[in-house]
Structure 1
Amino acid sequence: MFAARATGLVKLAGLCLMAGVLVAALLFPVVGGLGLASNRAADTVDQTSGELTKAELPLVTTVLDMNKQPIAYLYDQYRIPVPSEGIADTMKAAIIAIEDKRFFEHKGVDWQGIARAAAKAGVEGETSQGASTLTQQYVKNYLAFVVGKGEKEAYAKATEATIGRKISEARIATQLEQKMTKDEILTGYLNIVPFGNGTYGVGAAAKTYFGTTPDKLTVPQAAMLAGLVNEPSRLNPGAAVEPAIKRRNTVIDKMRENGAFGADPKVAEEKAAEYKAEGIGVVPDLKLLPNGCVGAGDGPVYGFFCRYLIDYLEKAGLSADELKRGGYTIHTTMDPVATRLAKQAAEDQVPKTQDGIANAMAIVEPGAEKHRVRALAANRDFGNNAEAGQSAYPLPSEVTKFGTGSTYKVFTAAAALEAGVARLDKQIDTPATYTSRIYKGDRGGYTVKNANTGYKDKMTLTEALATSPNTGFVILEEQVGLDKVVDMASRLGLRESMNGVTTKGEPVKPGERSQGETIKAENRGSFTLGVGPTSILELANVAATIMSAGKWCPPTPVEGVTDRNGRPVALKEAPCDQAVAPEVANALANGLGADTKTGGTAAGAAGRAGWDRPMIGKTGTTEDHWSVAFMGATAHYAGAVMTFTDGVAPQVICNSTPPRLCGNAPGTTGVFGGSVAAPTWFNAMKPLHEGKDPTPLPPVDPRYR
């Protein structure tokens, strides 16, 4: 007993000292003798109180698809701000009763409350009464969760038990009371304070715990929420039901004492008993708002698009931190129908749980002013559980570490057409084996052979694009010049793949060569065979560039961004440019129009899908069969698919149903682009084109025919 009283007396002395210092600090801006405040500190107080009167709280950013339906949410703090009239009187009464019953009487600092706390500390050894007003708590929460972003260090600083902090807090609170009405302060507090489970503010709390809006909160609901602000983790009603109910009932008793249930004591007591008899009342499954790209979309199917969107916006001037706090509305280009079709087609060819094999697809809409990304999907789901068939890598949009094989022959053909070295109907040499004296091999010259026998020694460029003889394109590459072919790949769309990564697929560091630079410097004739790292999205955009009469535009996932006030936000997006002359692009499109016809490497896949539309197409298979690809396009959609090993140790992908890994033993028969990547493309694109006119390929200038 004596120890308790002694402790109480110590706390009493401390409270008395604090009260005296607070009074001095409030009356005199500079307390030089104590070193507790300064003119600079006063300036900071003025600035903070000013900021609080027009505080912009961290808000949720909403991501919408092309139909303006939400597909993802990005936030640090789940908050739904509401005006005063949108908050029930029950909620206001509950928070005042439990946190600051003299709220409408004091001017920011409750001197009577401090005195009462001091007296109670002296008698009972407690300091729980009247220590901090709602106005002071508003200041503290602003510094912790708005200025400090809720980070541990900032929270600790905003809540540290020092006289200096209390002085600053009290001075800001006093100034705030002169600049804002009581109702404005109360509303601000209820919009900023945390309620647990990642929710901040009464708007999000009402929806999370009760599936309602704050203007409809009942007394038991409001009391439970008011009780949460004391210790939201310990009193979590989703897990700790009994402690939450006990705290709620304490709030109800305080509301009764504060006259919230009327002046008649008997009636008030009966109402309080009725309210306390109710159950916890929270929804069975707390309505927590999904956060981030993992799990985005039903299924989920939108995660890869969401991840690309964030990466794109960061390069365009909106950082991830801004997105999580700014309350933006992002109108995207994502087509949910195209995305689901691509996802289904990818999984049909390679099940999501198939060990070590990814199957990813990107769909871009061609256009002269914009190349809209309509779908980014894969057999994997976007997530961190590999055993469940998930991947945290942005498979369709990143530069993979694998090549796309013969799809790169498109760049050689384009460079040859532009340079006048080749024409669509002019024959090129396609011998069974060819040794280049220009490019270097392991033992002198670079020797290449065709993938199989049966090729003619000569064929037209159109035939070569459809049947893909290796030798013919190495010879064309020699005639045009390797540098021009590499540059063509970048111009048509492989800009990050050529200039942003090394030959190992790693981001280029200062002093390192990019993939394109290395290929040129080392005179790698194998470039036309597509052995280097490639982005599937960029490959789809190559097809979009060709079908846009040679106009390259960045593959954009964004239609527009508006801020929390509905104002447009300017983005730093790369402008479109004319990659090649329209005549060259149109000629190339016609040259690529035979791949799905009889004899073409994608003819079988097209036939099985019942494809009957004009289109461009090109399959690709790497020599080691670690990856295969298909790119194709119509006037309506361009797309690319890549099937590749995504395990720790790359292996040959065997040509089985479904494809499987089968080691790297010599002679192992691997999969081809026409047997898995092309079917994925056609199975997604066939239904996506339903109802659209079968637009013919553009006419060819006779100079290129």
Structure 2
Amino acid sequence: MLQKIGQLLGVGIVAGVLCAALALPAVGGLGITARNVATGFLNMPSELETPPPPQRSEILDRDGEVIAEIYDQNRELVKLDDMSPVMQDAIIAIEDARFYEHGGIDISGTFRAALRTLSGSTQGGSSLTQQYVKNVLVESATTQAEQEEARETTISRKVRELRYAITLEQRMSKDEILEGYLNIAYFGDGAYGVESAARHYFGIGADELNLEQSAALAGAVRYPYLYNLRLNPDDATERRDIVLDRMVDVGAASAEEAEEAKGTELELDVSNPSNGCMPSDQPFFCDYVVQEIEKNDQFGEDETERARWLRTAGLQIHTTLDADMQSAAQDAVDKWVPRTNESRKVAAEVLIEPGTGEIRGMVQSRNYGPDESRLGETSINFATDFDRGGSTGFQAGSTFKAFTLAAALDQGLGFGTSFSSSNSTTVTGQRNCDGAPLAPWPVSNAGDTKGSGSNNMVSGTKGSVNTYFAMLQRRVGLCNVIEMSERLGVHRADGTSFDNERTQGNNSFTLGSEEVSPMTVANAYATFASGGMYCEPQAITKIEDRQSGRTIEMDSDCERAIDEDVAAGVSYLLQQTFRGGTTNGLGIGRPAAAKTGTTDGSASAWLAGYTPNLASAVFVGDPRGPQNYPLRNVTIGDRHYGEVFGATIPGPIWQETMRAAVSELDEEDFPAAPSQFGSTSEPSRDDDEDSARPANNEAGVPDVIGLSQDSAVSMLEEAGFRVSVSGTRVRSSEAGDTVAAVNPDPGTQLAEGATVNVFLSDGSGSDRTTSVPDSGVWQPLNGTPAETGMYTPGRREE
């Protein structure tokens, strides 16, 4: 009944308000005169959208613990039942004592407010419903102009609020309006809504507020800065006492209760929720989550809209982060590469669960902050790609050899695939993915790695023999190795392709001369651990939008990348590095597979490895430019290093991280070495084996595939070989009458004067694989062809 009365009086009130403005030719910005006021008022828009006000979002780890809070306004919405009744009484007493009696408009107050507005003031007079309307208009404004319109000091704004208020009271109950008001009101000092205000000023929930606390908060609403409880305690106390007196006047408190409350001082327990990633204990993972939301068009039309959604929708973002694994990784990188080390080196590590792609940890030995000039501080996430807040990447060294192994096994080559692996060689015959020939590649082994005699996949992997992998890449084909790495999710951190205009294909791909992120390498190794199932790296599992009430489930995105036996084969080979190989002494007390990586001149160092249920990759280097600031003659923390390799610092970081990280996981075994790849034995060593190798033609048979007959013959003869051109054309994708194949293969080392058989193409183009007749005139040296590959001159890789 009271609401209906208030609604019937609405037009009369507005008429009265406007009568006070008869001296003006027009009322505010509406341009309605006193003669058509009623008509103009009724024709105004009356429906007001009342969406939930902005509130803070939370990022949670996989156990539901808060990692970070992100917001434009510190607000947490609560129900009216979760607000202290005395708080409700206090706000009604001081702001709108007749709230439960009128229909949205306080007649006398509105008339008084109109007169004051005409004199340039907007003090007083608004009902709680009108104040709620104003706050809704302000909070829902998406442009500066809309915000200014909602705050303008004009009669037109008052009239607009009156019209909305009348209609709002028809649609919402009094309790709903009161709840909305107490959740949207600003209480000063960055606290929006009564729940956040109670926690900010007193360290308690809104349901725990007592009389004096409620009165103090209610008093702050009128002028949040003047009556700021923290900044202006004297003014706030005086205002609190006025509220207490008013509560006595309206019967909301007894005189005795009010006097007792006045006798207490403001006892504040001020605290603020952390805002953003900087205060978080997991800042770089937090930043990655923020980037994942802001860069994903699933969450909004553009980045601005997505950022606003993140900071205003009260999201609960459930992530994949494991707090214990994260802590173990952070402790390890901080121990071996302290955050403020004078050498300015950095360590970064990512842990990923095989079979899901879920990121269990993401750390680096840096403090999170915007001042790059400050020692130990950065906002760049070196663990991930450039488009997710990371760097343009770092060369990953011999961790890439695993991709060559996968490509070789995928083609059906066995563990016994052998090459005579000298300590240095020059490799010819490689082509990029466009088929263009690449320059000769001088490649040598690193450190004390020796390639004496023959190596197969087992010994070559165990010793990380560069010349062996150069030859294996040559056998498999550079483009096939690149394609395999891409199947495993490997890509350059700067977003460009491996076979781009700058590189036109990279001879030294197998030795990790491409710049990638630890995230990419860790996830590729997780694919081996999962039996060949590739999963996109995943940081978010679910987003609950408390503003709209919807829940967004983020499922793992997985597909088979390689055959299960190929993955098992790679895992078998990478386990050998712990058995007298490059990771010897870095075991973690359970089955594991791993590969070290050290780039040319120890510019950067890596170790990537995995168990069947957890993979991780560690990078150590200098973000100023590893080639200019290498890991040589360097002091990191209290340790001096003449030269850092993958097993020197990344190795212990990986070992200490994984030992702790897998302690709560079931111990699992890898599959047995697939029988289809043959014997797992290493080749026998013969000290005199090198004597059987030819002294000349170290580059081997030139690659003349695709050349004309005359050009091919000329090149082969210049290399010191005799040439026999077969009269039989072979099926090939090469152009007709050009060279389709040679026997022995390009790169094979032969004695000077040996015969090379040349086969021309029939131009059919029907088969990618060329079938070469067995001439019966060639026998490989040492029982196997000594094939080669390519690399940047002078590069040495572990």
Q: What is the TM-score with the length of structure 1 in the denominator? A: 0.82
CA displacement, residues 294-344 of structure 1 (integer Å, 9 cap, x when unaligned):
222xxx2x2222222233344272333323222333332211111100000
Aligned position for 2:278: 294
Aligned position for 1:616: 593
Q: Which amino acid aligns with 1:601?
A: T
Say how many residue pairs are matched. 641
Aligned position for 1:626: 603
1:54-453 alignment, distance < 5 Å = 55-117=51-113, 127=121, 130-145=124-139, 147-148=140-141, 154-262=146-254, 268=255, 270-283=256-269, 286-296=270-280, 300=281, 302-314=282-294, 315=296, 317-318=298-299, 319-355=306-342, 356-367=344-355, 370-384=356-370, 387=374, 389-399=376-386, 400=391, 401-420=393-412, 422-438=413-429, 445-453=440-448
Report whether the alignment pairs 1:517 with 2:499. Answer: yes
Residue number among 473, 483, 491 corresponding to 1:487 in the alignment: 483
Give me the whole-angstrom Cα distance separating, in 1, the residues matched to 2:37 and 2:116. 27
Residue number among 529, 549, 558 corresponding to 1:576 in the alignment: 558
Give me the whole-angstrom Cα distance separating, in 1, the residues matched to 2:602 and 2:501. 21
Structure 1 stretches lacking a partner, 5+ long: 1-13, 263-267, 508-513, 663-667
- Per the TM alignment, residue 126 of structure 1 is displaced from its structure 2 partner at its CA by 8.5
Q: Which amino acid aligns with 1:679?
A: P
Give me the whole-angstrom Cα distance separating, in 2, the residues matched to 1:523 and 1:698. 34
Aligned position for 2:645: 672
Residue number among 545, 561, 583 corresponding to 1:602 in the alignment: 583
- The answer on whether the counterparts of 1:483 and 1:520 sit within 8 Å (CA) in structure 2 is no
Aligned position for 1:537: 519
Shift of the 449–338 alpha-carbon distance from structure 1 to 2, 3 Å rule, reads same
Q: Which amino acid aligns with 1:371?
A: G
Q: Secondary structure at the match of 2:187?
A: strand
Shift of the 34–194 alpha-carbon distance from structure 1 to 2, 3 Å rule, reads farther
Give me the whole-angstrom Cα distance separating, in 1, the residues matched to 2:659 and 2:405. 27
Shift of the 669–176 alpha-carbon distance from structure 1 to 2, 3 Å rule, reads same
Aligned position for 2:790: none
Give me the whole-angstrom Cα distance separating, in 1, the residues matched to 2:353 and 2:225. 48
Shift of the 15–40 alpha-carbon distance from structure 1 to 2, 3 Å rule, reads closer
- Per the TM alignment, residue 281 of structure 1 is displaced from its structure 2 partner at its CA by 1.6
Q: Which amino acid aligns with 1:405?
A: G
- Per the TM alignment, residue 471 of structure 1 is displaced from its structure 2 partner at its CA by 2.1
Aligned position for 2:621: 644
Two-structure CA RMSD over aligned residues (Å)? 3.6
CA displacement, residues 4-58 of structure 1 (integer Å, 9 cap, x when unaligned):
xxxxxxxxxx99547669xx999xx995999999999958532x2xx22xx3332
CA displacement, residues 580-633 of structure 1 (integer Å, 9 cap, x when unaligned):
1111111111111111221x1121444xxxx34221111111114232111000
Q: Secondary structure at the match of 1:371?
A: coil
Aligned position for 1:593: 575
Give me the whole-angstrom Cα distance separating, in 2, the residues matched to 1:235 and 1:632. 59
- The answer on whether the counterparts of 1:482 and 1:520 sit within 8 Å (CA) in structure 2 is no
Shift of the 661–440 alpha-carbon distance from structure 1 to 2, 3 Å rule, reads farther
CA displacement, residues 141-178 of structure 1 (integer Å, 9 cap, x when unaligned):
11112x126x7654323111233332222211111122
Give me the whole-angstrom Cα distance separating, in 2, the residues matched to 1:18 and 1:219. 41
CA displacement, residues 549-568 of structure 1 (integer Å, 9 cap, x when unaligned):
11001121233333328976
Report whether the alignment pairs 1:551 with 2:529. Answer: no
- The answer on whether the counterparts of 1:60 and 1:325 sit within 8 Å (CA) in structure 2 is yes
Report whether the alignment pairs 1:700 with 2:684. Answer: no
Give me the whole-angstrom Cα distance separating, in 1, the residues matched to 2:666 and 2:18. 83
- The answer on whether the counterparts of 2:333 and 2:365 sit within 8 Å (CA) in structure 1 is yes
- Per the TM alignment, residue 578 of structure 1 is displaced from its structure 2 partner at its CA by 0.8
* Higher CA-based Rg: 2
Give me the whole-angstrom Cα distance separating, in 1, the residues matched to 2:293 and 2:116. 56
Q: Which amino acid aligns with 1:637?
A: L
- The answer on whether the counterparts of 1:361 and 1:377 sit within 8 Å (CA) in structure 2 is yes
Give me the whole-angstrom Cα distance separating, in 1, the residues matched to 2:206 and 2:664. 46
Q: Secondary structure at the match of 2:500?
A: helix
Give me the whole-angstrom Cα distance separating, in 2, the residues matched to 1:690 and 1:359. 23
Shift of the 439–361 alpha-carbon distance from structure 1 to 2, 3 Å rule, reads same
- The answer on whether the counterparts of 1:190 and 1:201 sit within 8 Å (CA) in structure 2 is yes
Shift of the 469–225 alpha-carbon distance from structure 1 to 2, 3 Å rule, reads same
- The answer on whether the counterparts of 1:541 and 1:638 sit within 8 Å (CA) in structure 2 is yes
Give me the whole-angstrom Cα distance separating, in 2, the residues matched to 1:428 and 1:43. 87
Q: Secondary structure at the match of 1:194?
A: coil
Q: Which amino acid aligns with 1:383?
A: G
Shift of the 98–567 alpha-carbon distance from structure 1 to 2, 3 Å rule, reads closer
Q: Secondary structure at the match of 1:45?
A: coil
Aligned position for 2:742: none
- The answer on whether the counterparts of 1:98 and 1:227 sit within 8 Å (CA) in structure 2 is yes
Shift of the 702–221 alpha-carbon distance from structure 1 to 2, 3 Å rule, reads same
Q: Which amino acid aligns with 1:450?
A: N
Give me the whole-angstrom Cα distance separating, in 1, the residues matched to 2:484 and 2:315. 38
Give me the whole-angstrom Cα distance separating, in 1, the residues matched to 2:41 and 2:555. 42
CA displacement, residues 67-99 of structure 1 (integer Å, 9 cap, x when unaligned):
222222232222222222322232223222332
Q: What is the TM-score with the length of structure 2 in the denominator? A: 0.73
Give me the whole-angstrom Cα distance separating, in 2, the residues matched to 1:341 and 1:452. 31
Aligned position for 1:510: none
Q: Secondary structure at the match of 1:438?
A: coil
Structure 2 stretches lacking a partner, 5+ long: 1-14, 300-305, 679-798
Give me the whole-angstrom Cα distance separating, in 2, the residues matched to 1:621 and 1:41. 78
Shift of the 648–195 alpha-carbon distance from structure 1 to 2, 3 Å rule, reads farther
Shift of the 235–622 alpha-carbon distance from structure 1 to 2, 3 Å rule, reads farther
- The answer on whether the counterparts of 2:498 and 2:505 sit within 8 Å (CA) in structure 1 is no
- The answer on whether the counterparts of 1:604 and 1:674 sit within 8 Å (CA) in structure 2 is no
Q: Secondary structure at the match of 1:515?
A: coil
Aligned position for 1:4: none
Q: Secondary structure at the match of 2:578?
A: coil
Q: Which amino acid aligns with 1:617?
A: A
Aligned position for 1:10: none
CA displacement, residues 365-423 of structure 1 (integer Å, 9 cap, x when unaligned):
112xx222111112223333554633212222335431111111111121122123x42
- Per the TM alignment, residue 200 of structure 1 is displaced from its structure 2 partner at its CA by 1.5
Shift of the 572–364 alpha-carbon distance from structure 1 to 2, 3 Å rule, reads closer
CA displacement, residues 412-452 of structure 1 (integer Å, 9 cap, x when unaligned):
121122123x4223323322222233359999522222123
